[in-house]
Amino acid sequence: MGTAQETVARRTIRLLIVDDSNIVRRRIERSQQFDELEVVGTAANGLEALELARRTDPDLVTMDLTMPQMDGIECITQLVRFKPEIRILVISALADKATAVEAMERGANGFLNKPFTDRQLNDAIAELMY
């Protein structure tokens, strides 16, 4: 017999968006179609991302690679050291295999090339989180 107590509450997934382009950050924010996702912060480079990650404790990060001050590869390395269970989806224009392999070796969990469609973004997030 079903009761309210048997209903499994769906956990909120805290999302941090990292990209040096405002347009891309807003695009990711608009595109995500999961009720469970809550954008807890946006950062324009790796340094900002690390600071925000410490303050906002995200479960999922979308990470650009080519950014000023601190690039995405260095940021992934430090994020994973600080929070090993974090899930990281790289969203980058860099389309060579070696870059994707390097990002995964540093601790990324998925890789999506720019330009991307809303569907590709949502599929990539779903693959990582569900």
Instruction: Name the residue among 63, 84, 82, 83 with its Cα closest to residue 73.
Output: 63
The reply on whether position 106 binds other proteins by CB under 8 A is: no
Instruction: Name the residue among 122, 128, 114, 129 with its Cα closest to residue 23.
Output: 114
Segment contacting other proteins by CB under 8 A, of 34-42, 50-58, 77-85, 86-94: 86-94
CB of 83 to other proteins, least distance (A): 26
> Using the rule CB under 8 A, which residue among 77, 80, 104, 114 binds other proteins?
114
The reply on whether position 92 binds other proteins by CB under 8 A is: yes
8 or 23: CB nearest other proteins: 23
> Using the rule CB under 8 A, which residue among 32, 42, 62, 99 binds other proteins?
99
Span 27-66, contacts to other proteins by CB under 8 A? 27, 30, 66
**DSSP annotation string for 81-119:** HH-TT-EEEEEES---HHHHHHHHHHT--EEEESS--HH
| Chain CA centroid to CA 82, Å | 15
Span 10-29, contacts to other proteins by CB under 8 A? 20-24, 26-27
Burial of 123 (0-12, 13-18, 19+ CB in 10 A): middle
